[in-house]
């Protein structure tokens, strides 16, 4: 395997106290970097001090947005091991995003090794208290200094690390979600399945308007008919109707969430009926009217499980489970975070040990 050169920072920073962490504001001392050039492939794998870097004002990513990213987490367990959650699944999805954006495929084994080495070097930055984690952000940008639309010939890949605070520092809070009726996020055949900046840029106007109206996030409907449920801003969505757990099927326009996969596998393992299928927003509201909509929750790396307490659509506002966290949402949250934090046996092989503290 390619060697990974290491240049250590002269000065080390210190991990702030938990209450100062927040999300995505603080970065560790080092980053992993890899370059690409057509004809040469990916080369020059290295770990260097975290810091700003130069690119040309003509760098293609700044003009045409050919870029991808990932988001995953590492944890410190109660017995002081540092572990990552499903890193190879995240890195394989990174390659799927690369394919959609015409970015060359990457060597998952090299990225996995680079990531482990990076975390080992920066392990003092892994926060220890319950609910905190080290957020891992791999990304690729196209950097040819060229103004003109084409597939780039030069790329840079980075992995940066950010210690983050507990998502539920003051307990579970069911969120209020607006079903989006004016804007759409992604259309079939488009970029929806990729983790690429364009999808997030496309979501900003709708989420700003929703926030002004007092909602936390929007629930996207399909772009053709605005009839079928897709996903929430940064989460996949699940409905518990009677005893069935339903989540929209993967159709190319939603993200293939790793937490979504975990939820499906765990719920099936518990003997629950789980369906991945098209579900219309009409069906959701009808189930509520009939008293059959028991729970709604989102799934994603940041929150793991986020219970939905209210949904607003077509002039109607429905309250789910009395605006309380449902039994299944709570059980899934406890179980998956238990695996991540090393309190629950990892029977699915999702935990990857990096080092000890
Ligand atoms: C658009 C979107 N959908 C769903 C998810 C949830 O995916 P995961 O569970 O892999 O974090 C995310 C977060 O990564 C997202 O950005």
Task: Indicate whether 219 and 257 sit together in one domain.
Answer: yes
Q: From CA 19, how far away is CA 244, in angstroms rounded?
A: 39
End-to-end CA gap in the chain: 27
CATH code of the domain containing 91: 3.30.470.10
Q: Is the pTM of this model over 0.95?
A: yes
Probe target for ligand 1 pocket from 136, 139, 186, 301, with the most ligand atoms within 8 Å of CB: 301
State residue 19's pLDDT score: 86
Nearest-5° angle of CA 346, CA 135, CA 249? 65
DSSP string of 224-263, one letter each residue = TTS-BEEEETTBEEEEEETTEEEEPPP-SSS---HHHHHH
Residues 15, 92 share a domain: yes
Protein residue whose Cα sits closest to atom 16 of ligand 1:
234
Structural domain including 135 reads 5-166
Mean pLDDT of the chain: 96
Cα 187 to Cα 199, 217, 225: the distances in Å are 11, 19, 10
| Ligand 1 geometric centre to CA of 236 (Å) | 6
Q: What is the pLDDT of residue 1?
A: 59
Q: Are residues 199 and 264 in the same domain?
A: yes
Report helix, strand or coil for 35.
strand
Q: Are residues 104 and 151 in the same domain?
A: yes
Same domain, 102 and 230: no
- For ligand 1, atom 1, the nearest C-alpha belongs to 234
- The answer to whether position 227 is within a domain reads yes
pLDDT value of residue 2: 73
Report yes or no on 349 lying in a domain: no
149 plus 206 within the same structural domain: no
Q: Which atom of ligand 1 lies at the shortest distance from residue 236's CA?
A: 4
Specify whether 157 is located in the same domain as 21. Answer: yes
Q: What is the tally of structural domains in the chain? A: 2
Cα(10) to centroid of ligand 1, in Å? 36
In a domain, 116, yes or no: yes
Pairing of strands 30-37, 41-49: antiparallel
Per-residue pLDDT, 26: 97
Going by the DSSP 8-state scheme, the letter that residue 59 receives in this structure is B
What pLDDT is stored for residue 357 in this prediction? 87
> Ligand 1 center to residue 103 CA distance, Å?
20
Residues near ligand 1 (Cβ within 6 A): 71, 231, 234-236, 255, 257-260, 299-301
What's the average pLDDT block by block, 10 residues per block, for the chain (357 residues)?
90 92 95 98 98 97 98 96 98 98 98 98 95 97 97 98 87 92 94 97 96 96 97 96 98 97 98 98 98 98 96 97 97 97 96 94
User: From the CA of 212, how far away is ligand 1's center (Å)?
Assistant: 23
Where does a domain end: 107, 137, 166? 166
Assess if residue 180 is contained within a domain: yes
Ligand 1 center from residue 234 Cα (angstroms): 5
In a domain, 356, yes or no: no
Token pair of 127 as six digits: 């926060």
Residue 123 neighbours by CB under 8 Å, 6+ apart: 82, 354, 355, 357
Dist. CA 300 → ligand 1 center (Å):
5
Could you tell me how far CA 123 lies from the centroid of its own chain?
Answer: 22
With respect to residue 11, please indicate whether it lies within any of the assigned structural domains.
yes
User: Both 187 and 306 in a single domain?
Assistant: yes
DSSP code string of 111-127: HHHHHHHHHHHTGGGS-
What is the pLDDT at residue 261?
A: 98
Q: What is the pLDDT of residue 170?
A: 67
Please tell me the residue having the least CA distance from ligand 1 atom 15. 234
**Which residues 6+ apart lie within 8 Å of 238 measured at CB?**
245, 246, 247, 260, 263, 295, 296, 297, 298, 299
Q: Are residues 185 and 154 in the same domain?
A: no
């Amino acid at each position: 395997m390619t060697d990974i050169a290491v240049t250590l920072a002269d000065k080390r920073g210190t991990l702030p106290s938990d209450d100062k962490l927040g999300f995505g504001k603080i970065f560790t001392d080092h980053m992993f970097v890899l370059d690409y050039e057509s004809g040469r492939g990916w080369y020059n794998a290295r770990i260097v001090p975290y810091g700003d870097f130069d690119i040309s004002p003509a760098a293609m990513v700044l003009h045409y947005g050919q870029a991808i990213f990932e988001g995953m987490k590492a944890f410190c367990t109660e017995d002081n091991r540092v572990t990552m959650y499903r890193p190879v699944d995240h890195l394989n999805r990174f390659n799927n995003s690369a394919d959609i954006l015409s970015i060359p495929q990457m060597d998952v084994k090299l990225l996995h090794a680079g990531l482990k080495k990076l975390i080992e070097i920066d392990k003092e930055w892994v926060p220890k208290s319950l609910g905190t984690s080290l957020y891992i952000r791999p990304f690729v940008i196209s950097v040819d200094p060229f103004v003109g639309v084409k597939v780039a010939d030069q790329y840079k890949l980075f992995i940066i690390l950010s210690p983050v605070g507990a998502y539920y520092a003051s307990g579970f809070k069911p969120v209020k979600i607006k079903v989006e009726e004016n804007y759409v996020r992604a259309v079939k055949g488009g970029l929806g399945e990729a983790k690429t900046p364009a999808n997030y840029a496309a979501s900003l106007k709708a989420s700003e308007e929703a926030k002004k109206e007092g909602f936390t996030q929007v629930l996207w409907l399909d772009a053709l008919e605005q009839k079928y449920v897709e996903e929430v801003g940064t989460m996949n969505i699940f409905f518990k109707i009677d005893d069935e757990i339903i989540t929209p099927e993967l159709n190319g326009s939603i993200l293939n969430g790793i937490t979504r996969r975990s939820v499906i596998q765990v719920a099936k393992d518990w003997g629950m009926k789980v369906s991945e299928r098209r579900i219309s927003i009409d069906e959701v509201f009808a189930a509520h009217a009939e008293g059959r909509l028991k729970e709604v929750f989102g799934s994603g790396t940041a929150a793991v499980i986020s219970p939905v307490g209210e949904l607003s659509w077509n002039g109607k506002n429905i309250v789910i489970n009395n605006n309380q966290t449902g039994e299944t949402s709570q059980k899934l949250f406890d179980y998956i975070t238990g695996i991540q934090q090393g309190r629950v046996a990892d029977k699915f092989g999702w935990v990857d040990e990096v080092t000890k503290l």
